[in-house]
Amino acid sequence: MPTITTDDGTRIFYKDWGSGRPVVFSHGWPLNADAWDEQLRLVAERGHRAIAHDRRGHGRSDQPWHGNDMDTYADDLAQLIDRLDLRDAVLVGHSTGGGEVARYLGRHGTSRVAKALLLSAVPPLMLRGPGNPEGTPLEALDGIRAGVDGNRSQFYWDLSESFYGFNRPGADLSGADGIRRAFWLWSMQVGAKAAYDCVRQFSETDFTEDLKRIDIPTLVAHGDDDQIVPIAAAAPRTARLIPDSVLKVYPGASHGLHGAYRAAFEADLLDFLTS
């Protein structure tokens, strides 16, 4: 398996498909690079170099005890980009991966990156507080931690329903069982320590200053029926903080890609890559 070894000795698995301009995908919690497979194939078939890694603690990457924090995630991404000597890259981040991309850009700059796309991403800040009244209550996040700490297999299965919006009246349930099984499989591959630690990282990290530093064209995309990262505290605020950004809202769309939502996003992704 292709891997890089980071400065602290952690092996990071990655996929590297096709050739051309690099498009680097960062996955959401608690998944891995496989969650991007359809989009990796799509952009590679359109003449791009599609790359996606398993975040440390997830999938086929090492599961170190330490380093399950947003700064280290961003530094791992930076080392992947540097080791592969990627230039003029487009970064695409979903959910927690969107936070990883934002922290990378805020921490390492844009010398190797031309564009960014944040999909259903956690920035600027998920956690509800005095300055973020529309954020997610701490009690809900504590419930996620309890699920990971308890019967995590059942928790991930249950989470998959709201992740893809299959619990909504009139939801498109075609292929739902297979999609949920894939989500469960990917989720069970993340180490319990990494999964638990990451909840605090995606929910309590404030990305405001990172977003202000992004000086490249950025597409901020989000479904307005996202039950995992509700849009009110996320995409519109993120778009206002990034100087050169465009906000795209998908009516009725969930957190996870499937069906008509996936098709719409993929069309926008291809347009963004060539614009």
Residues with a catalytic annotation lie at 95, 226, 255
Whole-angstrom distance, CA of residue 81 vs CA of residue 84: 5
The pairing of strands 3-5 and 11-18 is: antiparallel
Which CA distances in Å does 187 have to 9, 38, 103, 123, 229?
24, 18, 23, 22, 18
Whole-angstrom distance, CA of residue 55 vs CA of residue 129: 28
Among residues 275, 266, 262, the alpha carbon closest in space to that of 50 is found at 266
Strand order in the sheet with 48-53: 3-5, 11-18, 48-53, 21-26, 89-94, 113-119, 218-223, 245-250
Cα-based angle 225, 232, 27 (whole degrees, multiple of 5): 65
Instruction: Count CB atoms within 10 A of the CB of residue 154.
Output: 11
Question: What SS3 class is residue 275?
Answer: coil
Can you say how many angstroms the Cα of residue 168 is from the centroid of all Cα atoms in its chain?
A: 23
Tokens of 50: 């599609």
93 neighbors 121 (Cβ within 8 angstroms): yes
Residue type, 45: E
Helix (H) or strand (E) holding 92: strand 89-94
